[in-house]
Structure 1
């Protein structure tokens, strides 16, 4: 039996078609939620963190944490485990994680024209068209970003990505299901020894990738023809040392196959490759209305392996706290709008686990006492020695992690 992999637009009847395919073919349905649940069990990571892989944009801290890449590794492992069977229907974003080398997969895209989707979203009701259209456009942007990140294709509905594209506005449910089940009989999607080996290679690659991820390495892995290929998507400063480190890590996993490396050229720009270290501050939010100062500070901290993002006012800082979950905050007191003292109060009320370090050039002894009373980890004054600041942020990060472990 072949696997059916469905990717769909919203408001085109995809859920009903998937349910009918399951009923008529006797297969089981596997969705993104199922994949996330299994990946959470395998990795111990929170489901919310894994689900963020499907978000429009990765976390602003991702350049340091490589959270998205490491979560994707666990999602691929959960999917690769499932690929040992062939009697299932996969529906969702995760259909694009299946490698093209697994031939016994019928890739189907379900889509409908704008008029059909707007009506299905309630846009045919008075005054609801614009709202329905905005909702559809937002969902389409989400799918486009996902397909671009996984396949490098700007058009999520491009025919080249699928074995068939099914327009559900011209085909009712009966005909859509009939067309898909007919496609299952095609010789090109029948299981063969090579396609089964490709599924086994996918599983082995996923196990290696998650093993490296558990050691802090965000490295793409592929297995084919009895060889392991590691793909490093960033420039490497000391390549020989990194390759030796990765080979040593593979040896601990009892990987005996030949290993090849591909590394992104330096000309591609971007940050250099670094291993993620959970003990190193990598989610520090810098909040200061002096833009040049805080941007320069972020760069200087990055040179000391401290990952940070910046906000230029209290309102933006609070939005980022709600959205990005920083672990440590470096906070100025005097800012227009919501000042630093008020930000400190609100952060400690809603996210007490975040350690807050005050860095101000206009503080007083009463300010110091009040900040410490409200729960600030430390109170520093500008100008501050960069090494003192770095050490303080590391100590704040250590306390945050100890507190989480003791919960």
Structure 2
């Protein structure tokens, strides 16, 4: 039940080597798309949201949603479930989830110099500058990925693999023969220690998902069923948090003991916050009055309502496209694109975003126009912060009901 993992730089003959390897070994090919689909089933998150974990760019809302960390937790559990089958070729980003103590894994990396990669990409008949942009973006994503998972920003570092194959110097067929020769060794026969490490890996993934579901983000280590939870951020009531974490973990099947400790960053000013999935966390505040909107953001954060800020309509629309907020607090009178035009465009392209108008200059006609365009609510400045918070929570409840309807 050996496993082969393949991680590659783009345009390094992976489209030739991986299929041949699958054919020669008879192993089942598992790629990122399959693992993402399983993670979707486990989490209820969309495939698009989970796949963003593979990109270097992190959403502006991630400090409040921990969406990347949550996605990685579910992807890790999906990999752990799939590995129980054995005789697999795991190809893609998810190859890096398998920890080194699982020794019945042959870890491969396919790389080549840039000139060769550009030559291989030339088959696409795209301008070289466009191809180079794609390659650099892919390399950037893979560097961010190995940095996050392994603390190593060099995704091609030979220390991460058993074999690094320079595909500009070794052809596809010869590469496959090299892999097969190394696969057929006693080193890759599953041992009791390696299988035990695989069990620990699956338990670690299960614990991380259980904590994630309850809104917690702590480091997890597992050794022979003994779970250690490390709290990296400062917390006002440490003993209460430790007790809550233990209560979540100790009843998970396979857990023998649970201990907690504080990490090296525990005494930094950053405060540990448990996620509240009932509160809106992807909130975009749009207002050209900088002091007002910054103060509003701070006041909302005191109520555990995280938000990002845009100071004009153009920036807001760009953030809508790239970061997909769920709730928007929108002023009407702004230079450039005004609030009504922003509302029109948002509702035309992403109608699921709930928009709360918050203005000091509107009138009854504006209110009627905004509500007809699909605004969730229309509020006047100055607004009572409790009324605004409650309105945001009502908008979030509507979003959650819609999402639950889509899943059922």
Is 1:310 equivalent to 2:316 in the alignment? no
Describe the SS at the equivalent of 2:108. Answer: strand
Q: Distance in 2 between matches of 1:48 and 1:165?
A: 31
What does residue range 106-117 of structure 1 map to in structure 2 within 5 Å? Answer: 106-117=106-117
Q: Distance in 1 between matches of 2:153 and 2:255?
A: 38
Q: Distance in 2 between matches of 1:21 and 1:185?
A: 13
Corresponding residue pairs, total: 405
Give the match for residue 90 of structure 2: 90
What does residue range 247-266 of structure 1 map to in structure 2 within 5 Å? Answer: 247-253=246-252, 257-264=256-263, 265-266=265-266
Q: Distance in 2 between matches of 1:124 and 1:212?
A: 45
What does residue range 317-336 of structure 1 map to in structure 2 within 5 Å? Answer: 317-336=316-335
Is 1:173 equivalent to 2:172 in the alignment? yes
Give the match for residue 48 of structure 2: 48
Task: Give 5+ residue unaligned stretches, structure 1.
Answer: none
Give the match for residue 138 of structure 1: 137
What does residue range 243-282 of structure 1 map to in structure 2 within 5 Å? Answer: 243-253=242-252, 257-264=256-263, 265-270=265-270, 272-282=271-281
TM (norm. structure 1) is 0.93
Q: Distance in 1 between matches of 2:405 and 2:180?
A: 53
Deviation at 1:6, TM superposition (A): 0.8
Give the match for residue 120 of structure 1: 120
Describe the SS at the equivalent of 2:122. Answer: coil
Q: Distance in 1 between matches of 2:120 and 2:382?
A: 59
Give the match for residue 99 of structure 1: 99
Deviation at 1:235, TM superposition (A): 2.9
Q: Distance in 2 between matches of 1:361 and 1:93?
A: 49
Deviation at 1:123, TM superposition (A): 8.1
Give CA deviations for 1:152-203 in whole Å, capped at 9, x if unaligned.
1111111111111110000001211122122223444332110010001111
Kept after mapping to 2: 8 A contact 1:353/1:404? no
Q: Distance in 1 between matches of 2:360 and 2:44?
A: 42
Kept after mapping to 2: 8 A contact 1:84/1:200? no
Give CA deviations for 1:309-341 in whole Å, capped at 9, x if unaligned.
111211221222223222211001111221101
Task: Judge which range, 49-58 or 10-19, deviates more.
Answer: 49-58
**RMSD, aligned CA:** 2.1
Q: Compared with structure 1, are the counterparts of its residues 351 and 337 closer, same or farther at alpha carbon in structure 2 (3 Å cutoff)?
A: same
Deviation at 1:255, TM superposition (A): 6.0
Deviation at 1:268, TM superposition (A): 4.4
Kept after mapping to 1: 8 A contact 2:231/2:266? no
Give the match for residue 59 of structure 2: 59
Q: Compared with structure 1, are the counterparts of its residues 406 and 35 closer, same or farther at alpha carbon in structure 2 (3 Å cutoff)?
A: closer
Q: Compared with structure 1, are the counterparts of its residues 398 and 42 closer, same or farther at alpha carbon in structure 2 (3 Å cutoff)?
A: closer
Task: Give 5+ residue unaligned stretches, structure 2.
Answer: none
Give the match for residue 381 of structure 2: 382
Give the match for residue 11 of structure 1: 11
Q: Compared with structure 1, are the counterparts of its residues 266 and 207 closer, same or farther at alpha carbon in structure 2 (3 Å cutoff)?
A: closer
Deviation at 1:242, TM superposition (A): 0.9
Deviation at 1:124, TM superposition (A): 10
Q: Distance in 2 between matches of 1:132 and 1:190?
A: 41
Deviation at 1:50, TM superposition (A): 1.6
Describe the SS at the equivalent of 1:319. Answer: helix
Q: Distance in 1 between matches of 2:284 and 2:124?
A: 44
Q: Compared with structure 1, are the counterparts of its residues 390 and 179 closer, same or farther at alpha carbon in structure 2 (3 Å cutoff)?
A: same
Kept after mapping to 2: 8 A contact 1:123/1:129? no
Q: Distance in 2 between matches of 1:66 and 1:20?
A: 39
Give CA deviations for 1:195-214 in whole Å, capped at 9, x if unaligned.
01000111122122222222
Kept after mapping to 1: 8 A contact 2:250/2:258? no
TM (norm. structure 2) is 0.93
